[in-house]
Structure 1
Amino acid sequence: MALSYAIYDVFTDRQLEGNPLAVVFGADWLDDEVMQAIAQEFNLSETVFIRRPGGAAHTAKLRIFTPSQELPFAGHPTVGAAIAIAEAQHGATEEGIDLVQVLEEKVGPVRCAVRLKPGTASFAEFDLPRKSARIDARFDRQAIA
């Protein structure tokens, strides 16, 4: 089965500058070993594989690989994937579009804001993901009541 992919230059508005990223679409059927081999073949700092989300309210599930290992999260693949997904869903627009996506990553859900503007480079930013942590706190139940 053929795969569709794109190469993005992240953090720049000029081609062949910025941080390169391979984005592989429709990667649901790929196992870990195949994704790792594809990332090695691209030989970029990261390759992101876009899959169907597990949650109905989420946009996509991302798997991020370097040539040697999988990462739970990385900034430029998240930005590049958010833009790639938005451009694939909305294509070239005559008017700008602002949208919010939730991307499932190994670190947890990551909320991304994306701006598509005709004639200029797309823009994305994300909320820094953070795993939940237990906080030990003591409350005076009587004072709260």
Structure 2
Amino acid sequence: MQEKRNKTGRNPKPDPAVFRYTVRLNEEEHNRFLSMFEKSGVYARSVFIKVHFFGKPFKVLTVDKTLVDYYTRLSDFHAQFRAIGTNYNQVVKELRCHFSEKKAMALLYKLERQTIELVRLSREIVELSRKMEAQWSQKSV
């Protein structure tokens, strides 16, 4: 039998959860419960309890804050590196327009040295990222 729907409000659920149970925990059990709940990544305590109680599998996700921070900084650096690449041609054009040939060549030489240093640094970062990924994949196994 289907319930009549009012013109306002929510649609009624086909199988509403109406039964409620109360469980009392001491402080140690409560702390253990909260720890398990936080590790599970489930959005609600009631959902966590139902999943755990009925034996359905659930995932425990752990987030390594240092790894997240590392990749965030690496992404920021990569964005800056790309910005330098897009501005490189504009810098060369401006040097040729506003400086004498001798002065422009001297500045281009300095720019070239800094670019080589930037490429070296970029390769070092890529190598560090590979090492970090290798260490992280060993931890997760």
TM-score, length basis structure 1 = 0.22
Higher helix share: 2
Q: Which has the larger radius of gyration?
A: 2
Structure with larger RCO (C-alpha < 8 A, sep 6+): 1
TM-score, length basis structure 2 = 0.22
